[in-house]
Amino acid sequence: LLPFPLLITSAFALFQGLSDSEMDTGEPTGTAAAAAGGEKRAMLLRQITEEGGFAFVASAEKAAAGDLRAAEAAREMAWEQLHSGPWSEVEPAWRHAYALACLHVASLRAGDDRRAALRALDMGLIMGGDLLRAELEAAIAQVPANGNREGEGDGAGDAGRNVERWREGLSRNRDLGDALKVLPVKSLSCKRIERRTCISLETFIHDYFLRESPVILSGCIDHWPARTKWKDIKYLERIAGDRTIPVEVITHTLTLYIDL
């Protein structure tokens, strides 16, 4: 390994040049901005080195020089650090390091695998820190503009198959047994269940919730564009088909919605 001062000096010079190429938007970049970008990344590598991440720094240098395997290795190293303990106890430097590795992977994947590049950038946004967020978002904005060449991975065949699966799912009836499991106790004991249209939250709480009386509400979300747009799988694929998004599974209560 290189001595610490020489390692940081080398990394500073390397990433100062890298920031110019990765953040190029077609417009002239000022010397001050380039220096700031290089200093930011050099500071990050210094922090990672202080955390004992010598292997990560070495792989990051190779990745910046165009080594895809090194970029993947650096991302795996950072990923392991993110899962080394409770999220609140993870060093922020490793979150930034993961974002940096995702940028490297995306830049090296963009030429032959657009979806893999976009997924790497999305994961950098989801799991990475804020230090390089602007660069990640700028890179994502450029990916759709580049697109795929005609006839290469346009997803037309997948879209057709997805439409059929989507329609099949919409037409499938729900299992009554599953519905019964989540119904409130004695909710089916009434002889007659009222049906109301677009009542206020206050009315619902006063007339039904506090009295523990079931009611069928209709027309409350008829104005939501999602009711029609989200049924079109081609629309969903067009706006977010290749994006990676986080999904958090939690238990919501009525109190939560009332507080909102």
- The pLDDT assigned to 142 comes to 85
Residues 140 and 198 occupy one common structural domain: no
Answer yes or no: is 151 within a domain.
Answer: no
- Nearest CA to 80 among 62, 101, 64, 65? 101
- The pLDDT assigned to 245 comes to 77
User: Which residues, given as ranges, of the chain have pLDDT below 70?
Assistant: 1-37, 144-191, 248-260
Residues 34 and 107 occupy one common structural domain: yes
Answer yes or no: is 185 within a domain.
Answer: yes
Answer yes or no: is 164 within a domain.
Answer: yes
> 215 pairs with which residues across the strands?
194
Q: Which residue has the tokens 């519905």?
A: 179
- The pLDDT assigned to 42 comes to 87
- The pLDDT assigned to 16 comes to 43
Answer yes or no: is 65 within a domain.
Answer: yes
* Alpha helix segments (H runs only) across the chain: 4-22, 31-50, 54-64, 68-82, 92-109, 114-127, 133-146, 156-171, 176-182, 201-204, 226-229, 233-240, 254-259
Answer yes or no: is 153 within a domain.
Answer: no
Residues 254 and 165 occupy one common structural domain: yes
- The pLDDT assigned to 66 comes to 94
- Nearest CA to 148 among 99, 110, 196? 110
What's the number of domains the chain is made of?
A: 2
Distance CA 108, CA 117 (A): 8
Residues 49 and 130 occupy one common structural domain: yes
Q: Which of 146, 174, 196 is the last residue of a domain?
A: 146
- The pLDDT assigned to 258 comes to 46
Q: Which domain holds residue 210?
A: 158-259
Residues 89 and 172 occupy one common structural domain: no
Residues 39 and 112 occupy one common structural domain: yes
Answer yes or no: is 152 within a domain.
Answer: no
Residues 66 and 189 occupy one common structural domain: no
Q: Which of 146, 168, 192 is the last residue of a domain?
A: 146
pLDDT digits (tens, 9 = 90+) for 131-175: 999 999 999 988 765 454 444 444 445 555 655 665 565 556 555
Q: Which of 79, 114, 146 is the last residue of a domain?
A: 146
- Sign for the CA dihedral angle at 21, 23, 25, 30 comes to negative
